[in-house]
Structure 1
């Protein structure tokens, strides 16, 4: 299937700056690495940064027969030669990995996929080893079934410890929550609960399920009112009961319902402070234009009218995802598709208030992909991972792009009241305020990917923070309007 050589695009002989959004010229050829495959079509399904910083991909190669496989590379795009056969592991014929979700502390990986030998009727969650051996003790004979009922009525989210929360909508306008532990068994410490909700319009689908850093539950549902789509976000307490203080009786309706006849994409990003960025995409068939509207909802569910321009940001692109960086800036990933399926991707970065961040200057260096997806690596770089489109083949190439990015991008304004010492430190950092504190000051510590690690309150003029349990590297401390790099050596 594979030709064992790299194909590089021509190097640019001009020196490129390391401005955020520019191709990383130290990666491959001008930020691009291509890997050729003997396929009529190649589809990259998902990617995952593993605990050791390497990257694992799931993909499918379509010829007269279909081959599903996993591929492992290091952060510089080099195939891990000890993985499978020269970096590529062919999966059994009846096993397809849709999404690589999470690697656990013991090295096992939770994936969502299809394994006809174990579970012939439904898609399910599986726990596999790095070599794709299925853990038969997980769930029911190796599978935790997700989509036994209507695919549009059930969603799941995986917690940091590997436990799984499933939300299932019923036609009697209730949501049932069930939690499973990291072994796929029912978590009896979380009693299954059914909560009644108010549906706006006729129910169409459960679109999204998210957990906040405090384990509150957020659900997005699409309803229909005649020819209009109505997008509603619900907020539940950690125990699955509706939070009636959110919005109106526990829910908020995203502004401006849109036409049912327009192709659309509705998703949201839950920020660390429980504000929400909502993205909705419209397509104008007559003009052939794609437009994404981005809104911001306050922590209480109200619309933030000061966000962007009169409460919204408009991007001429199909919405993929909005990613919250460690410094609170918002990185938008989108694309524009041609009628043959070719995708031209784009990136933009916004300040938290919706204004464009002009320090991020996206410079595209590859056009017309057949499949693609972004990956935000712990090294701070942005990877775009995909494949060439069929009409530009042969050859059919796996594409790996790397872009410069500073996920910290610390604004030094308002940091004078606090100081950190020693910095770097092997374990203990002392956070000092210039004067005695009149009231407790909440703080949070994140890794470079934006994952919340520690939160608490500073109650004294000098407070110690212990990072001894974490690996060496750079961490981000946020307190009030201040942001600090903590360098652990």
Structure 2
């Protein structure tokens, strides 16, 4: 057996923190769930529950309707369909069709909200946790809003939860002319009725391309420079208070016009600090501060791999101040990747990126970032679950030790064999997700019960020092 010195001390173990290792083979079929009957065009949304079950949306073709109907379904934590939900695992919202990116959220009481569409406008549908319509909401669980829908890039609609109220927005048009696009923003009461105390008798209009709800429940309208109203040369931010009235202390009576061109914004996302993170048509990512200034502390290099020969997804996900984003590479977009960007715009070297060639140009869509896993949608009919090596060991008392202090035979087969000049008190073996699996004290201890894979060994020495290293079991 060849002896190899592992040079991975605590610092290096932290460097490996939260990388994607592989698919979670305990989820669905080798980490991949395929939605049967899904339309081949409309994207999905996902929401995870505390028990790790997942609600998701998809679109199912209805020939008589002439459009795909919106469907909500549920997976158990292991990726199997929860047949107790709705009708054998799904709830079809009859005669209401999906948007390109359907909208799905869960209230604090466990009820589910989904946004879908009909010929003349949009609808918010509320379901009970078991998938049945909540008849206390709207009419049989459906609250309809006429004359709002999607926009040209299918991101100009959605809804937010504002305490017990619901902020709903979508693309609207002037009728009769002149024909001008704008956003209409409504607020619904908890029973689905329009809240007439909001805005101007329940709603207001804005030329914004993107609508956000900040951490103080104020409404932010981001007007990018390609807006067709030409009201602002370089675009602007409009700010409204939580009741839909102009926030007069912001900018000029609630409007802050940009003094420089932010670029053709393709997608935008508001993070937990009320910054607006944008990607533009040149695959550049930049950040706008809450006061409207360009954030020069955020510097993203779109020439760095894997971001140079690629197309970005329109969905950005934040977790603990970092941004997760995906895209496609390859001559035909046949390879997808997932990467992590720090709060300063740099690629997180500890996460780096995960890529996979699938042969089809299908974007990774919405992502749920957990401590030990990432759950994503892919294309129009896949839900994927990846495992992270998110080590949860306590490291507050760890001490760096000379790299030559201990040497393991590697890979391990039946016994854990090591050599060191210092006395070992114990070796704790952890799974990649931080669970203690075995503790040994003697050299050549039998570890045959460990499955093949990667583990973390925490070695405690007599002098009080400890070392943390990766080991591989064959």
Shorter-chain TM-score category? 0.5 to 0.7
Equivalent residue, structure 1, for 2:25? 27
Equivalent residue, structure 2, for 1:59? 58
Equivalent residue, structure 2, for 1:420? none
> Deviation of residue 151 (structure 1)?
4.5
Equivalent residue, structure 2, for 1:72? 74
Tell me, what secondary structure is at the counterpart of 1:301? coil
> Deviation of residue 356 (structure 1)?
1.8
Aligned pairs for 1:170-209 within 5 A: 178-187=186-195, 190=198, 192=200, 206-209=208-211
Larger mean CA deviation between 48-57 and 210-219 belongs to 48-57
With over 3 angstroms needed to count, the CA separation of the structure-2 counterparts of 1:374 and 1:156, relative to structure 1, is closer
Tell me, what secondary structure is at the counterpart of 1:45? coil
Asked if the contact 2:336–2:356 (Cα under 8 Å) also holds between the matched residues in 1, the reply is no
Asked if the contact 2:32–2:385 (Cα under 8 Å) also holds between the matched residues in 1, the reply is yes
Larger mean CA deviation between 397-406 and 122-131 belongs to 397-406
Equivalent residue, structure 2, for 1:217? 219
Asked if the contact 1:157–1:209 (Cα under 8 Å) also holds between the matched residues in 2, the reply is no
Distance 2:59 2:42 in 1: 5
Which deviations, in whole Å up to 9, do the C-alpha atoms of 1:76-133 show, x marking residues without a partner? 32332433576x326265344553522224432111114xxxx663331111234543
Tell me, what secondary structure is at the counterpart of 2:349? coil
With over 3 angstroms needed to count, the CA separation of the structure-2 counterparts of 1:398 and 1:378, relative to structure 1, is closer
> Deviation of residue 374 (structure 1)?
2.4
> Deviation of residue 297 (structure 1)?
1.7
Asked if the contact 1:295–1:312 (Cα under 8 Å) also holds between the matched residues in 2, the reply is no
Equivalenced residue count is 359
Distance 2:240 2:105 in 1: 24
1:110 aligns with 2:113: yes
Q: Aligned Cα RMSD in Å? A: 4.6
Asked if the contact 1:324–1:330 (Cα under 8 Å) also holds between the matched residues in 2, the reply is yes
> Deviation of residue 358 (structure 1)?
0.4
Distance 1:190 1:408 in 2: 46
Equivalent residue, structure 2, for 1:401? 385
Asked if the contact 2:18–2:351 (Cα under 8 Å) also holds between the matched residues in 1, the reply is yes
Asked if the contact 2:277–2:286 (Cα under 8 Å) also holds between the matched residues in 1, the reply is yes
> Deviation of residue 190 (structure 1)?
4.1
Which deviations, in whole Å up to 9, do the C-alpha atoms of 1:318-349 show, x marking residues without a partner? 242222212x122223345977xx76432222
Distance 1:186 1:63 in 2: 30
> Deviation of residue 300 (structure 1)?
1.7
Equivalent residue, structure 1, for 2:137? 138
The two structures have a TM-score, normalised by structure 1, of: 0.59
Equivalent residue, structure 2, for 1:240? 244
Determine which structure has greater relative contact order: mean sequence separation of CA pairs < 8 Å that are 6+ residues apart, divided by chain length: 2
Asked if the contact 1:111–1:127 (Cα under 8 Å) also holds between the matched residues in 2, the reply is yes
Distance 2:290 2:202 in 1: 24
1:381 aligns with 2:385: no
> Deviation of residue 308 (structure 1)?
0.8
1:348 aligns with 2:350: no
More strand by share: 1
Distance 1:164 1:350 in 2: 31
> Deviation of residue 21 (structure 1)?
3.8
With over 3 angstroms needed to count, the CA separation of the structure-2 counterparts of 1:234 and 1:345, relative to structure 1, is farther
Equivalent residue, structure 2, for 1:91? 92
Q: Structure 2: state its 5+ residue gaps.
A: 1-14, 175-179, 397-474
> Deviation of residue 146 (structure 1)?
3.6
With over 3 angstroms needed to count, the CA separation of the structure-2 counterparts of 1:209 and 1:45, relative to structure 1, is same
Rg (Cα) greater in structure = 2
> Deviation of residue 247 (structure 1)?
5.5
Aligned pairs for 1:297-312 within 5 A: 297-308=288-299
Aligned pairs for 1:444-455 within 5 A: none
| Partner residue of 1:322 out of 316, 319, 324 | 316
With over 3 angstroms needed to count, the CA separation of the structure-2 counterparts of 1:255 and 1:350, relative to structure 1, is farther
Distance 2:158 2:37 in 1: 35
Q: Structure 1: state its 5+ residue gaps.
A: 1-16, 200-204, 259-263, 283-290, 389-396, 413-489
Which deviations, in whole Å up to 9, do the C-alpha atoms of 1:396-448 show, x marking residues without a partner? x7442324275999999xxxxxxxxxxxxxxxxxxxxxxxxxxxxxxxxxxxx
| Partner residue of 1:251 out of 235, 253, 256 | 256
Asked if the contact 1:292–1:318 (Cα under 8 Å) also holds between the matched residues in 2, the reply is yes
Asked if the contact 1:43–1:61 (Cα under 8 Å) also holds between the matched residues in 2, the reply is no
With over 3 angstroms needed to count, the CA separation of the structure-2 counterparts of 1:137 and 1:359, relative to structure 1, is same
Equivalent residue, structure 2, for 1:364? 355
With over 3 angstroms needed to count, the CA separation of the structure-2 counterparts of 1:85 and 1:155, relative to structure 1, is closer
> Deviation of residue 145 (structure 1)?
2.7
The two structures have a TM-score, normalised by structure 2, of: 0.60
